[in-house]
Amino acid sequence: MALLIKNGRIITATDDFVADIHVQGETISAIGTGLEDSAAEVIDASGKYVFPGFIDPHVHIYLPFMGTWSKDTWETASKAALVGGTTTLIEMCCPSRAEQPLEAFELWRSKAEGLAAVDYSFHMAVTKFDDESEAQLREIVSRGIASFKIFLAYPGAFGIDDEELFRTLKLARELGVIVTAHCENATAVAQLQGELLAAGKTGPEFHEPSRPESVEAEGVHHLMTFAELTGAHVYVVHTSCDAAVQAAQAARYRGVNAWIETVIPYLVLDKTYAERPEFEGAKYVMSPPIRDLRNQPILWDAIRNRLISTVATDHAPFDFGDQKTMGADDFTKIPNGIPSVEDRINLLYTHGVVPGKIDLNTFVDAGSTQAAKLFGLYPRKGAIQIGSDADLVIYDPDYRGKISASTQQMDVDYSAFEGWEIQGRPSVVTVRGEVQARDGQFTGTIGRGQFLARQPTHF
Ligand code: URP
Ligand code: ZN
Ligand code: ZN
């Protein structure tokens, strides 16, 4: 089957031009003006943008965490991603310390197979490092995983100690694997949590003071020290604040190969949301926490000047009704996470491109191309080039609508952005040449998503 997308304004990380795109089978076969194919389905993209499919490099779909499980399946998460313009997901594969990495990797893969409608890969979390897990990690890399994940937080669950950190980074350096990292000082968090609870400060508004900006910045600095010692390439996930960005930037000046991700909640929410009364604030509990408003323009500036490479979601959906309430008497027990895989691109466009905080090329770079480049998917993904997968988002900038839990595809009982207006949304979304979503509706095929085997690129 062929597709012919006519007269769209094609935006990549570097280009901006009006042309037609011809798709033959799963890939882009021609880009030019006046293209014809009488056998092709024609999509009129006049007055619309055509972006490469967006990539979310940080999502949790199957996540046993804090005594419960995150809500989405690969079916619901795929539908949500697609209507929102995201065509590739990279999920964190997060086993407990008790699980064997290879078994966990196969378990996480089995959750996606047959249900994914987007293409997908995993960052393999290293939650324990010993000789046996090292051998299994080598095997997992040979099976197409080119990135690890480590946690400097969540001790006893996913967190590793410094010996494990050092050895993980040494292995990654040898294998050319990039290490994505959650950076917070776990000891400081535990002490602060204890002090706050002892003082009777149990509500969700105390989550942020228990994990202040300095705790995150210290975690970033700690990671960077170990990256410097080992030569490993590192990627700081969900960077929330100026202090953490500065710690990463300082390491880059020293020559550390480090990249920075932020996530959409930090760009549009601030800590007052977690202070909302009647436990409403629990909807906004994630780690690192939503910060003071003064950080927002600094994060936007860092995206604009491309110091921050990627804008992901850290999608981690837990129902308000019976999961967030697990922490009704103790904020440390509120399952951490905010759902946003459906909303990332429309929020980034509405709050970034529309007011001029970032331009269209930066929007594509941060939402798609950088993730493809960093994680071994470029130019198959993240590009509009002949031979690239025909993952395309035809985006209608004239659409006006509202976000609501009542209409979302994500399987979670609230929206952190309830009632928010969006300006623009995907009109047509294709994955490898097939239309998977139109105008807010999933129209594709469950199970069509493919596992993307990746090669290490960080040598
Ligand atoms: O609060 C968060 N971020 N939940 C998901 C787990 C993680 O730390 O990424
Ligand atoms: Zn994290
Ligand atoms: Zn995460």
Residues in the ligand 1 pocket, defined by CB under 6 Å: 60, 182, 238, 286-287, 314, 316, 336-337
Q: Please, which pLDDT band fits residue 459 given cuts at 50, 70 and 90?
A: very high
262 CA → ligand 1 middle, Å: 12
Question: 56, 58, 59, 60: which to mutate for ligand 1, most atoms within 8 A of CB?
Answer: 60
- Please report the atom of ligand 1 found closest to the CA of residue 58: 9
Nearest ligand atom owner, CA of 236: 2
Q: Which of 40, 34, 39, 41 is nearest to 7 (CA)?
A: 34
Report cis status (omega within 30 of 0) of the bond before 209: no
Q: Is the pLDDT of residue 17 over 90?
A: yes
For ligand 2, the distance from its centroid to the CA atom of residue 456, given in whole angstroms, is 22
State pLDDT tens for residues 30-81: 999 999 999 999 999 999 999 999 999 999 999 999 999 999 999 999 999 9
What distance in angstroms lies between residue 207's CA and the mean position of ligand 2's atoms?
15
**pLDDT higher than 90, residue 428:** yes
Mutation pick for ligand 1 pocket among 336, 338, 340, 412 (CB with most ligand atoms within 8 Å):
336
**Ligand lying nearest the CA atom of residue 286:** 1
Structure tokens at 245: 């960005």
Average pLDDT, the chain: 98
Same fold yes or no, 3-51+391-442 and 53-374? no
**Distance from the alpha carbon of residue 230 to the mean position of ligand 2, in angstroms:** 22
- Which among 314, 324, 332, 412 is the best mutation to test ligand 1's pocket, defined by most ligand atoms within 8 Å of the CB? 314
How large is the average pLDDT for residues 282-295? 98
Q: Whose CA is nearest to atom 3 of ligand 1?
A: 287
Q: pLDDT tens for residues 224-279? A: 999 999 999 999 999 999 999 999 999 999 999 999 999 999 999 999 999 999 99
CATH for the 3-51+391-442 domain, from 2.60.40.10, 2.30.40.10, 3.40.50.2000, 2.70.98.90: 2.30.40.10
Across the range 323-346, mean pLDDT stands at 98
Distance 182 CA to ligand 3 centre (A): 8
Q: Which residues contact 288 (CB under 8 A, 6 or more apart)?
A: 184, 211, 215, 216, 238, 239, 240, 241, 244
pLDDT at 163: 98
Q: What is the pLDDT of residue 285?
A: 98
Task: Tell me: pLDDT of 158 over 90.
Answer: yes
Mutating to test ligand 1, I would choose from 122, 287, 332 the residue with most ligand atoms within 8 A of its C-beta, which is: 287
Ligand 1 atom closest to Cα of residue 70: 5
Asked if pLDDT for residue 105 goes beyond 90, the answer is yes
Residue identifier of the C-alpha nearest atom 1 of ligand 1:
286
Atom 7 (ligand 1) nearest CA: 287
Q: Please write the tens of the pLDDT for every residue from 361-400.
A: 999 999 999 999 999 999 999 999 999 999 999 999 999 9
Dist. CA 149 → ligand 3 center (Å): 10
Q: What is the model's pLDDT at position 53?
A: 99
CA angle 58, 59, 65 (to 5 degrees): 120
Mention every residue, 6+ apart, whose C-beta is less than 8 A from residue 55. 86, 87, 88, 89, 90, 367, 368, 371, 372, 377, 381, 382
Spatial distance between the Cα atoms of 167 and 262, rounded to a whole number of angstroms: 26
What are the boundaries of each domain within the chain?
3-51+391-442, 53-374
Instruction: Report the nearest-CA residue for atom 9 of ligand 1.
Output: 314
Nearest Cα neighbor of 315 from 67, 51, 78 is 78
53-374 falls under which CATH superfamily? Metal-dependent hydrolases (3.20.20.140)
Nearest Cα neighbor of 333 from 320, 323, 342, 343 is 323
Predicted local distance difference test score (pLDDT) of residue 178: 99
Q: Note the pLDDT of residue 31.
A: 98
- 75 C-alpha to ligand 1 centroid (Å): 21
In this structure, the number of other CB atoms found within 10 A of the CB of residue 199 comes to: 9
pLDDT score at 252? 98
CB 72 within 8 A of CB 412: yes
Q: What is the pLDDT of residue 1?
A: 85
Ligand nearest, relative to CA of residue 312: 3
